[in-house]
Chain A
Amino acid sequence: MALKQDQVAANKKLALKLVWIIVGALLFAFALVPLYDVICSVTGLNGKTKNSAESAAKAVVDLKREVTVQFVSSVMPGLGWNFYPKQSSVVVHPGQVTTVMFEAKNITNVELAGQAIPSVTPGKASAHLKKIECFCFVRQSLKPGEVKALPLRFFVSAELPEDVQEMTLSYSFFPASQQ
Chain B
Amino acid sequence: MSTTTVAHHDEHHDHPTGIMRWLTTTNHKDIGTMYLTFSLIMFLVGGSMILGIRAELFKPGLQLMNPEFFNQLIGVHALIMIFAALMPAATGFANWMLPLQIGAPDMALPRLNNWGFWILPPSAILLTLPFTLALFGVGDGALATGWTFYPPLSVQGGIGVDFAIFAVHLLGISSVLGSINIIVTIYNMRAPGMTLMKMPMFAWGWLITAFLLIATIPVLAGAVTMLLTDRHFGTHFFDAAGGGDPIMFQHLFWFFGHPEVYILLLPVWGFIPQILQTFSRKPMYGYKAQVYSLWAIGALAVVVWAHHFFTAGMPVPALLYFMYSTMAISLPLAVLFYCWIRTMWKGSMSFETPMLFTVGWIILFGVGGLTGLVLADVAADAQYHNSYFVVAHFHYTLFAGGIMGIMAGVYYWLPKMTGHMYNEKLGKLHFWLTAISFNVTFIPQFFVGLAGMPRRIPDYALQFAEFNMISSIGAFVLGLSQLLFVYIIISCVKGGQKATDKVWEGAEGLEWTLPSPPPYHSFTEQPVVK
Which residues of A line the B interface, CB within 8 A?
Answer: 1, 3, 7, 10-12, 14-15, 18-19, 21-23, 25-26, 28-30, 32-33, 36-37, 40, 43-48, 76-77, 115, 117, 121, 123-124, 172, 174-176
Q: A33-B237, A115-B241, A124-B315 are in contact. Are A1 and B218 (CB under 8 A)?
A: no
Q: A33-B237, A36-B245 are in contact. Are A121 and B105 (CB under 8 A)?
A: no
Shortest C-beta distance, A14 to chain B (Å), equals 5
The stretch of B61-69, B176-184, B376-384, B443-451 in contact with A is B176-184
Shortest C-beta distance, A125 to chain B (Å), equals 11
Q: A1-B26, A33-B237, A36-B248 are in contact. Are A18 and B521 (CB under 8 A)?
A: no
Q: A32-B252, A115-B241, A175-B241 are in contact. Are A18 and B315 (CB under 8 A)?
A: no
Contact residues in B for A45 (Cβ distance below 8 Å) = 314-315, 318
Contact with A along B79-94 (1 / 0, CB 8 A): 0000000000000000
Interface majority SS (helix, strand, loop, mixed), chain B: helix
Which residue in chain B gives the minimum CB-CB distance to A10? Answer: B188
Task: Evaluate contact between B187 and A14: CB separation under 8 angstroms.
Answer: yes
Contact residues in B for A32 (Cβ distance below 8 Å) = 219, 248, 251-252, 255
Which residue in chain A gives the minimum CB-CB distance to B99? Answer: A1
Task: Evaluate contact between B315 and A1: CB separation under 8 angstroms.
Answer: no
Contact residues in B for A44 (Cβ distance below 8 Å) = 315
- Contacts A7-B189, A30-B226, A76-B241 aside, 15 further interface pairs with beta carbons under 8 A come to A1-B27, A3-B106, A11-B188, A12-B109, A14-B187, A14-B188, A19-B180, A25-B219, A26-B221, A29-B252, A32-B248, A33-B237, A36-B248, A36-B251, A43-B315
Q: Measured between alpha carbons, how far is A77 from B240 in the docked complex, in Å?
A: 13
Cβ of B76 within 8 Å of any chain A Cβ, yes or no, is no
Which residue in chain A gives the minimum CB-CB distance to B26? Answer: A1
Contact residues in A for B105 (Cβ distance below 8 Å) = 1, 3
Task: Evaluate contact between B215 and A117: CB separation under 8 angstroms.
Answer: no
Contact residues in A for B215 (Cβ distance below 8 Å) = 21, 25
Shortest C-beta distance, B210 to chain A (Å), equals 9
Q: Measured between alpha carbons, how far is A12 from B109 in the docked complex, in Å?
A: 8
Cβ of B49 within 8 Å of any chain A Cβ, yes or no, is no
Shortest C-beta distance, B423 to chain A (Å), equals 34
Shortest C-beta distance, A54 to chain B (Å), equals 19
Which residue in chain B gives the minimum CB-CB distance to A176? Answer: B241
Task: Evaluate contact between B521 and A29: CB separation under 8 angstroms.
Answer: no
Which residue in chain B gives the minimum CB-CB distance to A1? Answer: B106
Shortest C-beta distance, B165 to chain A (Å), equals 14
Contact residues in A for B216 (Cβ distance below 8 Å) = 25
Contact with A along B248-262 (1 / 0, CB 8 A): 100110010000000
Please list the 5 inter-chain residue pairs (A to B) with the smallest Cβ-Cβ separation, ordered nearest first: A29-B222, A174-B241, A25-B218, A26-B218, A1-B106
Cβ of B108 within 8 Å of any chain A Cβ, yes or no, is yes
Contact residues in A for B349 (Cβ distance below 8 Å) = none
Q: A15-B180, A22-B176, A29-B221 are in contact. Are A7 and B251 (CB under 8 A)?
A: no
Contact residues in A for B315 (Cβ distance below 8 Å) = 43-45, 123-124
Q: Measured between alpha carbons, how far is A56 from B156 in the docked complex, in Å?
A: 41
Contact residues in B for A28 (Cβ distance below 8 Å) = 218-219
Task: Evaluate contact between B184 and A1: CB separation under 8 angstroms.
Answer: no
Cβ of B161 within 8 Å of any chain A Cβ, yes or no, is no
Shortest C-beta distance, A26 to chain B (Å), equals 4
B218-234 at interface with A (beta carbon < 8 Å): 218-219, 221-223, 226
Contact residues in A for B109 (Cβ distance below 8 Å) = 11-12, 15
Q: Measured between alpha carbons, how far is A15 from B214 in the docked complex, in Å?
A: 12
Contact residues in B for A23 (Cβ distance below 8 Å) = 218
Which residue in chain B gives the minimum CB-CB distance to A173? Answer: B241
Task: Evaluate contact between A46 and B187: CB separation under 8 angstroms.
Answer: no
Task: Evaluate contact between B240 and A117: CB separation under 8 angstroms.
Answer: yes
Cβ of B193 within 8 Å of any chain A Cβ, yes or no, is no
Cβ of B18 within 8 Å of any chain A Cβ, yes or no, is no
B155-193 at interface with A (beta carbon < 8 Å): 156, 176, 179-181, 183-184, 187-189
Shortest C-beta distance, B239 to chain A (Å), equals 8
Contact residues in B for A123 (Cβ distance below 8 Å) = 313-315
Contact residues in B for A22 (Cβ distance below 8 Å) = 176, 180, 214, 217-218
Which residue in chain A gives the minimum CB-CB distance to B108? Answer: A11
Q: Measured between alpha carbons, how far is A1 from B109 in the docked complex, in Å?
A: 10
Q: Measured between alpha carbons, how far is A146 from B9 in the docked complex, in Å?
A: 84
Cβ of B524 within 8 Å of any chain A Cβ, yes or no, is yes
Contact residues in A for B452 (Cβ distance below 8 Å) = none
Contact residues in A for B217 (Cβ distance below 8 Å) = 22, 25
Of the candidates B183, B216, B221, B222, the one having the most CB atoms from chain A within 10 angstroms of its own CB is B222
Shortest C-beta distance, A171 to chain B (Å), equals 11
Q: Measured between alpha carbons, how far is A10 from B315 in the docked complex, in Å?
A: 48
Cβ of B110 within 8 Å of any chain A Cβ, yes or no, is yes
Which residue in chain A gives the minimum CB-CB distance to B251? Answer: A36
Show 28 residue pairs from A and B whose CB-CB distance is below 8 angstroms, ordered by the A residue.
A1-B27, A7-B189, A10-B188, A11-B108, A11-B184, A14-B183, A15-B112, A15-B184, A18-B179, A21-B215, A22-B180, A22-B217, A22-B218, A25-B215, A29-B221, A29-B222, A29-B252, A32-B252, A33-B248, A37-B245, A45-B318, A48-B245, A77-B156, A117-B240, A117-B241, A123-B313, A123-B315, A174-B241
Shortest C-beta distance, B402 to chain A (Å), equals 24
Q: Measured between alpha carbons, how far is A28 from B248 in the docked complex, in Å?
A: 14
Q: Measured between alpha carbons, how far is A102 from B80 in the docked complex, in Å?
A: 48
Which residue in chain B gives the minimum CB-CB distance to A117? Answer: B240
Contact residues in B for A29 (Cβ distance below 8 Å) = 218-219, 221-223, 252
Cβ of B465 within 8 Å of any chain A Cβ, yes or no, is no
Cβ of B45 within 8 Å of any chain A Cβ, yes or no, is no
Shortest C-beta distance, A139 to chain B (Å), equals 10
Contact residues in A for B222 (Cβ distance below 8 Å) = 26, 29-30
Contact residues in A for B435 (Cβ distance below 8 Å) = none
Shortest C-beta distance, B11 to chain A (Å), equals 11
Shortest C-beta distance, A121 to chain B (Å), equals 7
Contact residues in B for A21 (Cβ distance below 8 Å) = 214-215
Which residue in chain A gives the minimum CB-CB distance to B173? Answer: A22
Contact residues in A for B156 (Cβ distance below 8 Å) = 77
Cβ of B433 within 8 Å of any chain A Cβ, yes or no, is no
Q: Measured between alpha carbons, how far is A26 from B106 in the docked complex, in Å?
A: 30
